[in-house]
Amino acid sequence: GQQVMQIPQYQHVQEGEDFTTYCNSSTTLSNIQWYKQRPGGHPVFLIQLVKSGEVKKQKRLTFQFGEAKKNSSLHITATQTTDVGTYFCANGNQFYFGTGTSLTVIP
Amino acid sequence: DAGITQSPRHKVTETGTPVTLRCHQTENHRYMYWYRQDPGHGLRLIHYSYGVKDTDKGEVSDGYSVSRSKTEDFLLTLESATSSQTSVYFCAISETGQNTGELFFGEGSRLTVL
């Protein structure tokens, strides 16, 4: 199946530092989605990437889809305490989610 | 937020008892999903539905059954709960389904099996 692996599992950063999480698949993905889950909350959709090499930005968040459509990344510039939570990638058919990266931001 | 209601939100039960979790949506979305979330495993798909009475298995379907008799309701049943089924269960809905639609998640149901 189109399982996706996600690293790192945990990341602690000082407020203002950058953060990146990576998602990798052994097979080519039709598309990839990213979700954010605040502590105690439910996952919330952030974005979907479809095209090879696609880059999308949402304020301080930058999402990339690899040229081979086998990997993706989420980069947050100058983290804030509001960025705290777990970030998940999911393959396009939503059958498989990555294990998530839990981000802690130290004020 | 999308109109998704999960019930119950919290349940404690004993091994061997049946449990049914309900997901109710007011969005009239065709696709509905049940996931479980466990530390270190992320979200894993249990079952999904692509229409009334149309359901299929996900990655971790053993020990679970589902039913969808109406567009708005998707039920997840544990016929005989086991401690390994202690988890947080999320229902999700999608308007367009696989490869196109974003998922909208409910608030989650925390199940503890003693």
Most confident of A45-49, B38-42, B93-97: A45-49
A95 touches chain B (CB under 8 A): yes
On the question of pLDDT at B99 being above 70, the answer is no
Name the pLDDT band for B33 (thresholds 50, 70, 90). Answer: very high
A85 touches chain B (CB under 8 A): no
Contacts of B62 (CB under 8 A, 6+ apart): none
Name the pLDDT band for B96 (thresholds 50, 70, 90). Answer: confident
Mean pLDDT of chain B: 94
What is residue B40's predicted lDDT score, i.e. its pLDDT? 83
On the question of pLDDT at B3 being above 90, the answer is yes
On the question of pLDDT at B1 being above 90, the answer is no
A21 touches chain B (CB under 8 A): no
Q: Can you give the three-state secondary structure of chain A, one letter per residue?
A: CCCEEEECCEEEEECCCCEEEEEEECCCCCCEEEEEECCCCCCEEEEEECCCCCEEEECCEEEEECCCCCEEEEEECCCCHHHCEEEEEEECCCCEECCCEEEEEEC
Residues of chain B neighbouring A43 (CB-CB closer than 8 A) = 43, 90, 92, 103, 105
What is residue A95's predicted lDDT score, i.e. its pLDDT? 77
Q: Which of A92, A93, A99 sits opposite B42 (nearest CB)?
A: A99
What is residue B83's predicted lDDT score, i.e. its pLDDT? 97
What is residue A1's predicted lDDT score, i.e. its pLDDT? 58
Contact B94 A44 (CB under 8 A): no
What are the DSSP calls for B2-60, one per residue? --EEEE-SEEEE-TT--EEEEEEESS--SEEEEEEEETTTEEEEEEEEEETTEEEE-TT
Residues of chain B neighbouring A23 (CB-CB closer than 8 A) = none
On the question of pLDDT at B46 being above 90, the answer is yes
On the question of pLDDT at B39 being above 90, the answer is no
Q: b/e map of A61-77 (b: 16 or more CB within 10 Å)?
A: bbbbbbeebbbbbbbbe
What is residue A2's predicted lDDT score, i.e. its pLDDT? 65
Residues B79-94, mean pLDDT to the nearest whole number:
96
On the question of pLDDT at B15 being above 70, the answer is yes
What is residue A53's predicted lDDT score, i.e. its pLDDT? 97
B50 touches chain A (CB under 8 A): no
Ranges of residues in chain A with a pLDDT under 50 are none
**Which one of B29, B37, B61 makes the best mutation probe of the A interface by having the most chain A beta carbons within 10 Å?**
B37
